[in-house]
A and B are shown apart, each in its own frame.
Chain A
Amino acid sequence: MLLLLLLVLALFGMPLFAVIALGAMASFHAEGLNLSLVAMEFQRIGELPVLVALPLFTFAGVLLSHSRTPERLVDFTRSLFGWMPGGLAILGLGLFALMTAFTGASGITVVALGSLMLPALLKSGYPEHFSLGLVTAGSSMGVLFAPSLPLILYAVIAQQVAPGQGIRIEELFLAGILPGLLMLLLMAGWAMFVRARLPAESRERPPMLASLRAVAWELPLPVVVLGGIYGGYLLVVEAAVVTAAWVLLSLVLIRRDIAWRRLPGIISEAMVLVGAILVVLGVSMASTNVMIDTQVPQKLFAAVEPWITSKWMFLLMVNVLLLIVGMILDIFAALVIMAPLILPIALAFGVDPVHLGIVFLANLQIGYCTPPVGINLFLASHRFNKDILVIYRSTLPFLGWLLVSLMIITWWPALSLWLPGRL
């Protein structure tokens, strides 16, 4: 009954934190517990060390998207790889992945980078449908690469829900690399195939040296951050501090892309994004707590166990469920709501929590561009002024490749687990 009420409230657009808080408070009350326990759980968003990384990375992403960096990067890749068949499309995919990995929000990528890539693709002779599809689906790339916020958030939630598993963020960062590359590879292969059937790309390219100099400040950043994290020199939070300080210095002080007086507005914009995530996370700490107390995961497991005969069947169900959830819910909200429910059941079926995390995020990422309601589709339609049906049709082939990679990621755990195993 309570669940139904919450669902109706959520679907009619009540802010999610309020829906979850209502659920948590009602359950605490029903269990005869004091409501200040909800606040006690909530305040833990000020106690989890790794959450410090969230505002810092988000700020860096928002500042980058407001600067002229995306423009410079597109110029640079055109001058460097414009000669390769399908080079522009492939490098575009790489840029999308990088941008989404750093901002954690593929919506920002569609808007900031997509609107630059689209004209560049069209100008060098790619068909319109292909270009629209590439930009829309490609913007979801990168969720699986460090330091993506969803990866961090999954690790935080998994540590809360299954403290005995010893899940580490570094493991998830490593686990995401090969599956993420697989997605990129399949989409890049498709781009090369399409490109090969077209007349040669236009040779006109920006001069190499000038465009290299233009990105001199941005280019070392992923190397420093990723090298620092994967190489073990920097903790995740330290990498976040370095990233935020780096973009602040290079874009505001040195390049003066962004005027000082715009800084407070941009900081607030980034913090509104983070605040929205953290408040949902905070109240869901309380709801997760009461769910575990009242053994909801065990009951769910008992309910589904007779129907599900193997771990593979379970993962298939998870795929279907999460694709649907990923369509309607923001990736962070989906994580916060679904992970505490699914993770304990997955553990009971013998699924590795790190592998589950990668499957989880791959699903939610694809949900971004799944018709009819994936958020990237609407953003692209709005931004590029195209009918939503045109966007659907353009995105479909790419969606197909993403689903193929999802199958491989789901049924081949070693792809995710091999690298962290070398740790």
Chain B
Amino acid sequence: MTDTASGVLGEVDGQPLTRAGLWLRRFEIGLISVIFLAVVVVGLVQIGLRNFADSSLVWADPAMRAGVLWLAMLASALAAGQARHIRIDVLSRKLPESLRPWVVRALYFATALICLALTAASINLLRLEIQINDLAFLNVPRWLVLIIIPIGFGVMGWRFMRHALGLSTSAETQS
């Protein structure tokens, strides 16, 4: 039992209460869409050049891979808002009704802490990358590509913490 399978039934549709939250979600969905469409377009241009002009863009492949990393982190942050990450959920359903919300909250709290640790670890990596200052593609330095990792884990941690504290409006924590 995982959330990916049941989560596909509806589009991304959680309704945050605050105006700021709504705009943030729109921004995230917009950014994800723009990056995704950019990956498709760059990919098409690359195929066209390779097959018909016998040339290729050197930066296209690393740029597409960077796009995938950004998509993964942004979408995971979005998924955290709706508590839609892959998980096995066999035991919590067996818990007594009165106890279950507390166990779920405790798990979200622990998840938030783990996200925090991952944020710290990726900030360390980022520091290292800034010192090395390698280029990922074109004039884009590697650290600028990797910066999405601490941002992503940071947002995930923040959102899981909101679930833990009962501040979230997502249906998942209430049910």
Contacts and interface: CB of A to CB of B under 8 A. Distances in A.
B30 A264 contact: yes
Interface in A1-47: 9-18, 21-22, 25, 34-36, 38-40, 42-43, 45-47
Interface string A221-249: 00000000000001001101110110010
A240 B68 CA distance: 13
Contacts of A414: none
Given A271-B71, A274-B72, A278-B72, A42 B86 contact: no
Given A46-B145, A51-B68, A267-B32, A13 B88 contact: yes
A90 B165 CA distance: 51
A111 interface: yes
B6 to A, nearest CB: 7
A338 to B, nearest CB: 13
Interface residues of B, number: 69
Nearest to A265: B11
Contact of A39 (B6, B61, B74, B121): B121
A397 to B, nearest CB: 24
A205 B120 CA distance: 62
B66 interface: yes
Given A12-B92, A45-B68, A268-B78, A35 B121 contact: yes
Taking residues whose C-beta sits less than 8 angstroms from the other chain, chain A's interface range is: 35 or more
B40 A244 contact: yes
Contacts of B32: 264, 267-268, 271
A12 B122 contact: no
A110 to B, nearest CB: 9
A49 interface: yes
A328 B90 contact: yes
Interface in A352-387: 373, 375, 378-379
B73 interface: yes
Nearest to B150: A39
Contacts of B144: none
**A interface, over-half SS:** helix
A266 interface: yes
A65 B5 CA distance: 13
B118 A38 contact: yes
A69 to B, nearest CB: 16
A116 interface: no
Contacts of B6: 107, 379
Interface string A260-285: 00111111110111111111101100
Interface of B: 1-9, 11-13, 28-30, 32-33, 36-37, 39-40, 43-44, 46-47, 50, 61, 64-69, 71-76, 78-79, 82, 84-92, 103-104, 107, 110-111, 114-115, 117-118, 120-122, 124-125, 128, 145-146, 149
A55 B47 contact: no
Contacts of A25: 114, 117-118, 121
Given A46-B65, A52-B64, A267-B33, A36 B125 contact: yes
A189 to B, nearest CB: 29
Contacts of A107: 4-6, 8
A27 to B, nearest CB: 13
B8 A21 contact: no
Nearest to A282: B72
Contacts of B2: 329-330, 333, 375
A11 B47 contact: no
A67 to B, nearest CB: 13
Nearest to A242: B47
A132 interface: no
Nearest to A271: B75
7 tightest CB-CB pairs across the interface, nearest first? A46-B69, A275-B75, A241-B43, A107-B5, A36-B124, A15-B85, A271-B75
A99 interface: no
A48 B65 contact: yes
Contact of B92 (A13, A35, A111, A273): A13
A56 B1 contact: no
Contact of B29 (A35, A264, A283): A264
Given A39-B121, A56-B39, A272-B12, A264 B72 contact: no
Contacts of A40: 125
Nearest to B76: A275
A187 interface: no
A54 B68 contact: yes
A234 B43 CA distance: 12
17 contacts: A12-B89, A12-B107, A17-B76, A21-B114, A36-B128, A42-B118, A52-B67, A55-B39, A240-B43, A266-B11, A268-B75, A269-B8, A274-B71, A276-B86, A280-B86, A329-B88, A375-B2
